[in-house]
Structure 1
Amino acid sequence: MVVLLIGMRVNHFWAVHQWVPVMLAMFRMLAELKKDPGRGLLSRVLLTASPRTYYVVQYWESEEKLYAYASAPDAFHREAWAKINRLEKGGKVRGHVGIWHETYVVPEGSYEAIYGDMPAFGLAAAHGQVPLERRGRYAKDRFAHRSTTT
């Protein structure tokens, strides 16, 4: 599994014409990925870190599928990234909006997620839920659980 945190920071709110297209591009990519589950996006959660910083936590099947989407000639990501690079080189967006991402490759059995009294969210939405009583009473037992054994 791959967890991708990807987001933007609005550096100048008055530069709406600079940061709104970045935000809309992310929504367009998420819609594109939702229409084609074979690309590998399992789930996503939209979050706000502050009034200036917005990001998406994405759960991917594999790093290969994430990289394949990022570089696919038919995917909107490639078009959006090329446009951002052209604008950056021309000095037209520098300073108005920041973009960032963090990527974590997480081996099976190297994470634990517990949810109580709520619908599937985060990892549970990406990989399904296993009732806590089936995973073990103690944290060490739950952490060692492998979804392939269920």
Structure 2
Amino acid sequence: MAPTSFKAVFPPAPTKRSALIKNSLTLSTLLVLGGLVQTVVSFILPPRYALLPVVFLLLRAAVLTAQDTVSSTKYASKLGVIAGRISAQLPRASYDPLRTETASPFGSTPAEKGIVVFNLGARFNHPLGMLAPGAKEFADQFTACNRDLLKRAKELGCLGGTTWHGAQAASNNTILSIYYFRDLDGLNRFAHDPVHRQAWDWFTNVFTKKWGYSHIGIFHEAFCAPAGAYETIYINMPPVLMAAGHASIKNEATGEDEWVPTVVEATGSVWRSQFSRMGKAVGREAKA
């Protein structure tokens, strides 16, 4: 009997998600800003009313926290958590829901296709962090590259990406975007894209040479994992990293392109160990 194709967690959809750059303000910065706002309110409102905004926010936070604590399952669902074990797999280039052998967007062997991981990031080596001179212009260039990449995701074979803040420093001044591609050719085409070229020219010719700045560092890493040389497992997690990706595949029945989430159910013996999740022989090493 032929192996059963993996079961997708989400059905194919005509749209895809996009990555967003998160706020980098630290807790101490937020507290200072909150104190500043409260000081301004104290000057504007009478003393007996000045604390009303703070009291309202505290009560609201207490009520919401109590509500989420009582119903932790609903809270996890609200965060997009998928209970149990899931994995991220690269969908086929096409599928046909009307034919049994190709009805699933996924195959039956883990890691049966190679994947390219691209890490692109920046660090703001300045006391003002993302408010430093040139940071806004840099962010505009970075955002333009990200927007262009996601807009051309189908053409470049990009599965999408997620953005993270580094925690090495209390200032959270390092930003990292992690992207996934079907192959190295797509990544190489993005590297030579006019928008990416424009961003690089701005950084070297304007930010560095014309303005004389050096307080923003940039970096990238690229990893090409061939078929059978990587594995993924997520337990009680929302879709994250490769599991947050979407791949463009063709529906042979309709002739239309669809965006398929990379998430599949990870139940059964094939998902129990690292080697088996790489599509290798089951039982060669300890369970994960």
Fold equivalence (TM over 0.5): yes
| Identical pairs, percent | 26
Could you tell me whether the CA contact under 8 Å between 1:2 and 1:103 is conserved in 2?
A: yes
Partner residue of 2:121? Answer: 7
CA shift at 1:31, angstroms?
1.5
Partner residue of 2:164? Answer: 47
Partner residue of 1:139? Answer: 274
Give 1:57's match in structure 2, choosing from 178, 201, 210: 178
- The residue type equivalent to 2:158 in the other structure is L
Give 2:144's match in structure 1, choosing from 18, 21, 28: 28
Larger radius of gyration, structure 1 or 2?
Answer: 2
Q: Distance in 2 between matches of 1:99 and 1:53?
A: 9
In structure 1, stretches of 5+ residues that fail to align are 146-150
User: 2:134 is paired with a residue of what secondary structure?
Assistant: helix
Give 1:112's match in structure 2, choosing from 231, 243, 248: 231
User: 2:135 is paired with a residue of what secondary structure?
Assistant: helix
With structure 1 as the length reference, what TM-score do the two structures score? 0.82
- The residue type equivalent to 1:44 in the other structure is G
CA shift at 1:39, angstroms?
2.0
User: 1:130 is paired with a residue of what secondary structure?
Assistant: strand
Larger helix fraction of residues: 1
Give 1:122's match in structure 2, choosing from 241, 250, 255: 241
Q: Deviation digits for residues 45-98 of structure 1, max 9, x if unmatched? A: 10001312111011112111111111123xx11111111121256252542111
User: 1:144 is paired with a residue of what secondary structure?
Assistant: coil
Moved more, 128-137 or 54-63: 128-137
Q: Distance in 1 between matches of 2:212 and 2:264?
A: 46
Could you tell me whether the CA contact under 8 Å between 2:123 and 2:218 is conserved in 1?
A: yes
In structure 2, stretches of 5+ residues that fail to align are 1-114, 248-261, 281-288
Give 2:187's match in structure 1, choosing from 51, 66, 70: 66
Give the superposed CA RMSD. 2.1
Q: How many residues align?
A: 143
Q: 1:106 to 1:131 in 2, by over 3 A?
A: same
